[in-house]
A and B are shown apart, each in its own frame.
Chain A
């Protein structure tokens, strides 16, 4: 780093960059740019590549319908490479260099937390499509995935109905499982489950040796009360876990496992015969019986040019989020982020289970909660769905630190964490 760039060359570079920005601005005049921030390489590429394709499909369809406000939509795809700090850099690049009107992206909570200060500072909406641990509400983030009360709690309710009395909360050791399990533990205790009937277990990422843990679960489950496992085990660590359950002779009829991170996409890589009967809780399954879902699947197969590709819950979340954004832009009559963000609250858009989802003042949406049992073809049989839509709760009612907090981004409150007891907004934006 000894050589110093000659001043002249530096000036040239700056003017070139300026030219780029200007040309970008000129282009932005006839198209509306939409940023897509999903990892296309690295460990998260497995899940996130599909979401990038979903967004491209949605934008293409919108353009076929004549675009938005008379302009064509233009996707801008960047690759944050499963690298959390890079998510923030790429978000900044999308907003400042490409001048996108909105960003659709992120998967892990870490990546969202890394992008959050950027979208707050540069005032651009981010649509986050994955189920997460809650305890957050930002003015510029729209959470179209499930909050814990839209996934974990209904799943536990369902199992209680089935007579489950003893609970194993098993998770990978990071923020989403830790927070979700804390909420679930408080919830179970509020329902009268005793300490001795709850077993909590954490494993490292990519854990593959499940022998002792499964043996422990088996022992825990042989106490004469119906036992279930609530699994927040992340991604592909689930496969060896299920395999070990099968090998040690534990079937879904003995000890069912309900998982929050196992969907069609995760199952498409494995032999699901030993998994039949285990459960998953989502807001959407590919097997949902609705015309709008059939159309979506057909469009997806046509777009991706492969008949055996599956659809899953985060894809539906993008479908809802994108349509909501389109409606909010139409309602505001401009893509100006500040106005669009205000117009978002109260917007409704169709979901893929045949109903409508609405954006609530806390920037979470209403969704049905579905429980499905894994079948041997990698699909889910829906065994339960909530009678109505469930409103996403940003701040859990079961955690001591957050039960008095609410989020309401409508004026005049405009606060992401308003304490109803003290009547104060903590002041931080998220």
Chain B
């Protein structure tokens, strides 16, 4: 029997033989080896074993397992910290801090974890952070408990609540305590706890109140829970409306960005440029290429991409204008076909030169995450920046058209070509520059889109129809029309989406624009005066 047991034990430890670890401490070795194995239940146990260890580095190790910086050197059997250095990894022994040199990725073994291990690690770290000197870390730790409160974690809070000095952390802690008391067997205690949580927008509070309002044995508790719940739901609804408005504004500003270059080439010059989408795509690819040139600096490279994309798309635009469009002025059908051909050529060019696959464009740190307003309302940073960026581009373009010599000439040529030429404006040059300006703005839009969506050869096609829709809806030849039209369509789309679904909302918007154009062929803000007569 005993021998059988030993054999069985051997069998269970066998998988660990695949990857050996030698740290000098057999307990640690066992824990790390189990963590390298493929049995997730054993990994959970090993994790607890690792934390039960008295070493001060243990939390760092756990954190390293979470973010993949802690690995094992297969041949040397050592647990190491790794730091990526080009294609190699710099390894430092995790126990002795001895620098071991550079290694290929293949030589290192990662601690593979799954979602439940990740959750365990996060709760281990949250328990540690309760004693962190940084109030923000403490608050995060309390919030982690709030999301998923368990009795032993609440027991952890109890002694700390008296010592807490930071008001925000204290609030969060009291909320957790009140939440725990909602389940107290004592009725007045429960009523008091309902008062304590009222007004909080935390989902955990709402769930607890729903339970009380439905199932509590005492009618008075039920009633007060229902009242508190109603108050919270009202606030949540308001927040929901604000959120939808924000979504609409951000979708609208994407539409405006995509369309505003077209508002110049199509709106002011009257050229139907089917390659507009591809000029956006070129801007997005410029962002990609600049990021490739400056690895590790996504923020700087993104800022640099803005002027670079403007120049790239702008010069391609000028080349298209000089090479093709200028021979076709006044022949809209031929322009349409020619520029459609250009758009196909540009797409295939990108497919052959770069790759038919999408390329990765990374988001800089400041573009990810969200601005926390309250538990029911957070605004994502990337969308906030896009809205801001859209406004900046709009104002910039507006100033160029209204305040500069070029803008004056552009407007003059658009209004009356013959007269402008008689006054000494070189109309041909103005045409090229105007087209370049519109194309350059399309490139800048591409930089913004690269942060939101896939960068691939088909990127432009997705936006060409939307862009024309916005320009036509807003009124050809009017920048304000494009702004109001784009934002309006974006907001309408987002308010319709919850009840109509994404597919239907898009169709409804398109139908609406078509009907609108039937009624008012010149869009929201028609051009007035002689310029309007074609």
Contacts and interface: CB of A to CB of B under 8 A. Distances in A.
Contact of B501 (A201, A223, A247, A375): A201
Nearest to A204: B503
Nearest to A371: B114
Interface string A362-395: 0000000000010110000111000000000000
B118 A253 contact: yes
B115 A236 contact: no
B184 interface: no
Contacts of B383: 211, 247
B518 interface: no
Contacts of A222: 203, 206-207
Contact of A236 (B122, B358, B368): B358
Contacts of A239: 358, 453-454
Interface in B243-294: 243-244, 247, 250-251, 254
A27 interface: no
B498 interface: yes
B240 to A, nearest CB: 8
A208 interface: yes
Contacts of B362: 271
Contact of A203 (B247, B369, B503): B503
Interface stretch (A42-50, A185-193, A329-337, A349-357): A42-50
Contacts of B368: 246-247, 274
Nearest to A200: B501
B207 A223 contact: yes
Nearest to B461: A206
A212 to B, nearest CB: 5
B360 interface: yes
Interface in B182-226: 203-204, 206-207, 210
Nearest to A215: B243
A252 interface: yes
A206 B115 CA distance: 28
Interface residues of A, number: 46
Contacts of A212: 244, 247, 494, 497-498, 502
A277 interface: yes
Interface of B is mostly: helix
Contacts of B247: 211-212, 215
Given A247-B368, A247-B380, A249-B369, A277 B118 contact: yes
Interface string A7-51: 000000000000000000000000000000000000101100100
A375 B66 CA distance: 11
Contacts of B110: 375
B378 interface: yes
A380 B122 CA distance: 21
A240 B359 CA distance: 13
B328 to A, nearest CB: 28
A213 interface: yes
A49 B355 CA distance: 12
A162 B244 contact: no
Interface in B345-389: 351, 356-360, 362-363, 368-370, 378, 380-383
B453 to A, nearest CB: 4
Contact of A49 (B112, B210, B356, B502): B356
B340 interface: no
Contacts of A209: 251, 254, 452
B456 interface: yes
Contact of B116 (A43, A162, A204, A248): A162
Contact of B357 (A46, A213, A244): A46
Interface-centre pick from B114, B207, B381 (highest chain A CB count, 10 A): B114
Given A43-B458, A269-B359, A381 B114 contact: yes
B488 interface: no
Highest count of chain A CB atoms <10 Å: which of B68, B113, B357, B382 = B357
A268 B356 CA distance: 13
Nearest to B202: A222
Given A162-B115, A215-B247, 11 more contacts: A46-B357, A208-B462, A211-B380, A212-B247, A224-B207, A243-B363, A246-B368, A249-B378, A253-B119, A271-B362, A381-B113
17 contacts: A43-B458, A46-B357, A46-B358, A162-B116, A202-B501, A203-B503, A204-B502, A207-B502, A211-B251, A212-B244, A247-B370, A247-B380, A249-B369, A253-B122, A277-B115, A373-B114, A381-B113
